[in-house]
């Protein structure tokens, strides 16, 4: 796919590989520009003319006839343009022996700065090598992203998520990698944010060099081969986990996907980096990786490092492990933040507010009091109680001896409460 390996994990993207097939015409292809591309093009043309013993205008006419373009189109690139069709460069290079072609490709690799498609006025920076940011972006697109191709040829790359902070990181990394800032808007139909990049050059970069396809990818997505052969695999996993990973109320980190290829890739990455985890098959279509309880695990820093600092999932995990939160301004404020933190599912029998009110009214209770009152399982009770204890709203009394019930008390001092940091 036009990718090279040079010295360990350095991966090089060759811009000429973008034009893998003959375009419909010279105006529907990719263009490149750079500070010294004019000089490079002139040197290439001069060498061909010298080898074939023809004048520059004759070479220009020959190419015009070959590709069937208008008479005035090709001569402009031979004399005045500072940007060039990749298709034209590829045609010229075929007129040289292989070793000469490689020489000019190496120079072009060094000199190219930007690329675009067709009549678009949007130039994107061309990433010459694989990087941490690009590998992370690939993970984000693999998790919650998509690439579409309309009948009219328009291509669009998008990423969707409930948390705008995560999508802002995608924006930043697109700026670092391609020099383009995608649009970011709240969906009018769903409770989520949508990042959109309408740039065919960038979407084609992902399909050509990273192996992404168009349309639905839930069962087929996998780690790009170029990243798999590099030292940036963990960065790819971080992009996937920020969008597809989950931080559970029991302080475990998990990810469940429908693509067996992707879960196998993540299994390899976590194993190579000495993560402690369990692998399971949830059902016939979903595979899952889950961490131990991080509140009791020496590896919690390693798992936390998968999520970017101050994102919702990072704050959630930090709260569940350390109880790091903020002082609420009122009881209502505390409940609002706790409800947001837990995000009650439609199938849940109870909310955190109901358990809060139970503890407030009872003042002192055991787990059996609460479980019997609401018909809760121990797993549900334990998760909710963990949040209230981390918030310092409920405290555990010292165990009074063997076979004695463990009592919990409601802390009425709101000044001691700490509720989770919330990020929109």
Average pLDDT estimate for 121-136 = 95
Can you give the residue range of the structural domain that contains 245? 237-319
Same domain, 273 and 365: no
Q: How many CB atoms lie within 10 A of CB 125?
A: 18
Question: Which one of 125, 154, 184 terminates a domain?
Answer: 125
- Rg (C-alpha) for the chain, rounded Å, is 28
Residue 117 lies in a domain: yes
Question: Which one of 76, 98, 125 terminates a domain?
Answer: 125
Place of tokens 């029998």: 349
| pLDDT digits 0-9 by tens, 366-419 | 988 988 988 888 888 888 888 999 999 999 987 666 667 789 999 999 999 999
Residue 423 lies in a domain: no
Residue 411 lies in a domain: yes
Residue 9 lies in a domain: no
Same domain, 216 and 243: no
The confidence score (pLDDT) of residue 146 equals 94
CATH code for the domain in which residue 398 is found: 1.10.10.10
Residue 23 lies in a domain: yes
Question: Which one of 261, 286, 319 terminates a domain?
Answer: 319
Strand duo 245-247 + 183-186: pairing:
unpaired
Same domain, 277 and 346: no
8-state DSSP, 194:
E
Instruction: Tell me the pTM.
Output: 0.89
Number of structural domains the chain divides into: 4
Place of tokens 């087929």: 220
The confidence score (pLDDT) of residue 6 equals 42
Same domain, 88 and 153: no
Same domain, 18 and 121: yes
| Six-digit token string for 154 | 């328009």
Same domain, 216 and 189: yes
Task: With CA atoms as reference, report the closest residue to 410 among 385, 397, 393.
Answer: 393
The confidence score (pLDDT) of residue 308 equals 87
In angstroms, the CA 406 to CA 383 distance is: 16
Same domain, 96 and 172: no
What region, left, alpha or beta, does residue 82 occupy, with left being phi > 0 and alpha being psi -120 to 50 degrees? alpha
């Amino acid at each position: 796919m036009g990718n090279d390996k040079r010295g360990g994990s350095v991966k090089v993207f060759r811009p000429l590989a973008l034009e893998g097939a003959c375009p419909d015409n010279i105006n529907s292809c990719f263009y490149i520009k750079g500070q010294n591309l004019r000089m490079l093009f002139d040197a290439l043309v001069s060498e061909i003319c010298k080898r074939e013993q023809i004048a520059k205008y004759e070479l220009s006419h020959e190419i015009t006839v070959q590709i069937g373009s208008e008479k005035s189109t090709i001569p402009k690139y031979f004399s005045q343009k500072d940007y060039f069709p990749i298709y034209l460069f590829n045609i010229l290079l075929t007129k040289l022996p292989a070793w000469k072609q490689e020489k000019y490709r190496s120079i072009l690799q060094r000199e190219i700065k930007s690329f675009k498609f067709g009549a678009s006025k949007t130039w994107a920076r061309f990433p010459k090598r694989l990087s941490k940011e690009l590998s992370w972006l690939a993970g984000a697109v693999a998790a919650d992203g998509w690439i579409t191709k309309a009948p009219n040829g328009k291509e669009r790359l998008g990423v969707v998520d409930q948390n705008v902070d995560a999508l802002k990181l995608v924006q930043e990394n697109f700026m670092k990698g391609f020099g383009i800032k995608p649009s970011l808007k709240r969906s009018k139909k769903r409770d989520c944010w949508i990042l959109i990049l309408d740039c065919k050059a960038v979407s084609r970069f992902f399909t050509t060099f990273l192996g992404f396809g168009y349309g639905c990818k839930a069962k087929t997505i996998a780690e790009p081969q170029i990243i798999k052969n590099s030292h940036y695999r963990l960065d790819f996993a971080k992009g996937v986990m920020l969008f597809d990973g989950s931080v559970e109320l029991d302080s475990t980190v998990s990810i469940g996907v429908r693509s067996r290829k992707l879960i196998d890739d993540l299994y390899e990455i976590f194993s190579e980096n000495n993560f402690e985890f369990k692998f399971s098959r949830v059902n016939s279509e979903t595979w899952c990786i889950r961490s131990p309880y991080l509140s009791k695990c020496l590896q919690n820093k390693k798992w936390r490092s998968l999520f970017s600092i101050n994102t919702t999932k990072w704050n959630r995990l930090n709260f569940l492990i350390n109880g790091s939160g903020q002082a609420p301004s009122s009881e209502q404020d505390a409940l609002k933040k706790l409800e947001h933190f837990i995000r009650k599912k439609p199938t849940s029998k109870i909310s955190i507010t109901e358990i809060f009110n139970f503890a407030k009214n009872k003042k002192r209770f055991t787990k059996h009091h609460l479980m019997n009152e609401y018909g809760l399982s121990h797993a549900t009770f334990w998760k909710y109680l963990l949040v209230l204890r981390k918030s310092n709203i409920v405290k555990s009394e010292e165990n009074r001896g063997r076979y004695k019930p463990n009592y919990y008390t409601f802390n009425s001092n709101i000044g001691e409460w700490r509720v989770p940091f919330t990020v929109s």
